[in-house]
Chains A and B, each alone.
Chain A
Amino acid sequence: MKSCSIGRRTAGVTLAALMATALAACGGSAPARDEGALTIGVAFETLQTEFWVAAWNKLRADTAERKITMLEAVADGDPNRQLEQVRTFINRRVDGIILVPKDGKTVIPMIRAANAAGIPVVLFNRPADRTDAPHTAIVPDNVAITKATVEYLIEQARASGSPAKAAILLGDLSDVNAIGRRDGFEAAVKEAGDAVQVVSRIPTEWNQERALAGLQSAFQAHPDISLVLTSSDFMLPSIKSVLSSLGKWQRVGDEGHVILGGFDGDPTAYSMMLDGYLDATGVQDVFWEAEQAIEVIVGAKSGKSPPARIEDPGFAITQANMASMADRMWGAVMARRGP
């Protein structure tokens, strides 16, 4: 009986509190804000890789410099949480939302919610699946960046005087980024004609262990592979492991050096370029992408129609241009800043 009475009392007090909460909610009002100042909501799916941290820091720095208020939210991989965060931004009547979604599908209801409130949405570096909900997607031009990188690698191979035997570590081919990078590689190889022969296309599904095992097998079958491209820099440590075990982890210009290229421009790639082991890597210009994302929202506020798609042309950073281009390489900036 006692526990019953406690239950009723608790239920009564709970009900009263919830009613009070509801009353307070109805009586509350949206926060007042200086109409001249801009507020942008930035919601990232994760901050667990250096690439996203670099983008986040750039957005923070640029909004602060332009005296724009940046509301921050990280969903930790939970799309339901991200939808809540987007709705919270909408409730706070932000002027625009920059989103890194978990995937291209769960983001669609978020875009629609923002559309309904008349708030422009920018998808940063991760596009939505097919949808008629208006938004801006800023994406890297994977094909062009990879092609430029591979052209440099082939140039180095030509300089050695003999045709190159090449291997590529492919990403997960259900990922548009992986497909674009493969296509960029194939386009450069095709244009090079007899200067390069692709002897191995290694599927990794973005898995380091698969990359390692696949590359080991490729070198067993073709010990004369002289050019390797990875579709992402995060697989460089696997490549180093395989080449070291074969005695082929040599600096550029040294006897036995395997011409090596990557994609991303992360701190590991920067460090390997500084040390002279990596010939080139394709860099997504994350700083430029961040500037564009803010610019789209500022433009929308002043009446400009946001574009549906902005392609980051990126660039290839090579041993030849590193001195002049390193400041634009996000991995270099992160590496110099330190942990």
Chain B
Amino acid sequence: MSWVGGGGKGEGKRGKGEGNPGAVALALNVGAFLTFALLVPGFATGPNLETVVISALPLFLLAVGQTFVLISAGIDLSSTAVVGLVSVVGGVVMSAEEGTQGGTLGTLTGLAAMLATGVAAGAVNGACVGWLRMPAFMVTLTLGMFAGGLAVWLARTVAATETLYGLPSQFLQIGGDAGIALALTAALGIAAHGLLSGTLFGRALQSVGYNARVALVSGLRVQRVILATYVLGGLFAAFAAVLLTGRLETASPTHGRQLLLDVIGATVIGGTSLSGGRGRIGWTALGVLFLALVGNGLTLMNLSDFAITIVKGLVILAAALLDAWRVRRRGRS
């Protein structure tokens, strides 16, 4: 009953009274950049900004997946746990210590296994939310617990340790080489933007998120759209795992574990609505960039970890409040 009962906010016309969330996110970025550039020595340097951008690439990929899911009026709380599971699966296949294959063949096999794991996790989420009509937060939270536990079990069973090392150099380059990581992420981001903005699927997704009941009555195959949405979420989580595993040269069930709030926060700061129906990949990129700039700037200011967490939490809360205000205005108009 979940997504069928989740409509009701579509009485007003789409877009009216919502302002321009992308412009808000852009203004936040410009404000943060100028503030830190003026206040913090070493912030506005090429190497530092390169570090900020490259470090934020896995977060961006996770946030792209979350953008699809949030637009469908769902939520994916499993994505960061799926990153850990995907990472371990890759490690088991490719690690010279434990895996059976290295080199190019091992890398290709490992990549295929990693992406397949992400897709499978997304498909389970999508099937439960779409066909069984279970609440998204419950399904994805449970799958996240399962994926997290399975990742640790798999690592300990196969390798008798929680981390796997000795991955093929070809694989490590994907996440470890800044140019390759940036090019891959940009290509995936552009593809996601095209899918969302320039295809029938993108329109169908926004319609489902805006009002699933109306979309169903209009003849849209809502379950299939929801399934595809969560599969995309899983796929992008898998790509994030590829980058993280390569960057850290280690497969581990703990990769990505700390990122969930940042993923949802960056997506919401970018203007994607928690109530569904609205969101853009470009906005999400701005949300990710803003969180990365704030995190880096505050670290350079030598603020304590607790202070940085408080600031980030307040920013995300403010973005959620702004989203709620937009949804109310949209309802009124």
Contacts and interface: CB of A to CB of B under 8 A. Distances in A.
Q: Which 3 A/B pairs are nearest by Cβ-Cβ distance?
A: A74-B305, A31-B41, A10-B22
Interface string B53-78: 00100100000000000000000000
Contacts, number: 136
Contact of A88 (B29, B254, B299): B299
A30 B42 contact: yes
Interface in B298-313: 299-300, 302, 304-305, 309
Given A10-B22, A77-B257, A174-B160, A88 B305 contact: no
B44 A106 contact: no
Interface of B: 14-15, 20, 22-23, 26, 29-30, 33, 37, 41-52, 55, 58, 160-163, 165, 176, 197, 244, 247-250, 252, 254-255, 257-259, 280, 282-283, 285-286, 295-296, 299-300, 302, 304-305, 309
Given A11-B282, A14-B282, A30-B45, A106 B304 contact: no
A7 interface: yes
Interface in A1-60: 2-3, 6-7, 9-11, 13-14, 17, 21-22, 24-26, 28-32, 47
B254 A74 contact: no
A79 interface: yes
Contacts of A174: 160-161
Nearest to B43: A28
A91 interface: yes
A102 B250 CA distance: 12
Nearest to A2: B15
Nearest to A21: B33
Contacts of B299: 73, 85, 88
Most buried by B among A3, A10, A11, A83: A10
A35 to B, nearest CB: 15
A44 to B, nearest CB: 9
Interface in A48-101: 71-74, 76-81, 83-85, 87-88, 90-92
B46 A26 contact: yes
A78 B197 CA distance: 33
Interface residues of A, number: 47
A286 to B, nearest CB: 19
Contacts of B160: 174
A108 interface: yes
A295 interface: no
Contacts of A10: 20, 22-23, 26, 280, 282-283
A190 interface: no
30 contacts: A3-B14, A10-B22, A10-B280, A10-B283, A13-B26, A14-B285, A17-B26, A25-B45, A26-B46, A28-B44, A28-B45, A76-B305, A76-B309, A77-B258, A79-B254, A81-B55, A81-B258, A83-B55, A84-B51, A84-B296, A87-B51, A88-B51, A91-B45, A91-B48, A92-B42, A92-B48, A103-B163, A108-B250, A109-B176, A109-B249
A84 B55 contact: yes
A80 B244 contact: yes
A158 interface: no
Nearest to B248: A106
Tell me if A's interface is mostly helix, strand, loop or mixed: helix
Given A2-B15, A21-B33, 7 more contacts: A6-B20, A7-B22, A21-B49, A25-B49, A28-B43, A30-B42, A85-B299
Nearest to A26: B46
A77 to B, nearest CB: 5
A105 interface: yes
B248 A80 contact: yes
A327 interface: no
A155 interface: no
A109 B248 contact: yes
B165 A129 contact: yes
A74 B304 contact: yes
Contacts of A30: 42, 45, 47
Nearest to A82: B248
A31 B42 contact: yes
A29 B197 CA distance: 39
A24 B304 CA distance: 27
Contacts of A28: 37, 43-46
B199 to A, nearest CB: 14
Interface in A113-163: 129
B267 to A, nearest CB: 16
A73 B299 CA distance: 6
Contact of B29 (A17, A32, A80): A17
Contacts of B296: 84, 88
B258 A76 contact: yes
B45 A105 contact: no
Contacts of B52: 84
Contacts of B302: 71-72
A102 B254 contact: yes
Contacts of B282: 7, 10-11, 14
Interface in A279-311: none
Nearest to A85: B299
Contacts of A26: 46
Nearest to B206: A3
Given A13-B23, A84-B55, A78 B163 contact: no
Nearest to A4: B197
A29 B49 CA distance: 12
Contacts of A32: 41
A71 B304 CA distance: 10
Nearest to B292: A84
A91 B22 contact: no
Contact of A47 (B51, B286, B305): B305
Contact of A83 (B26, B247, B258, B305): B247
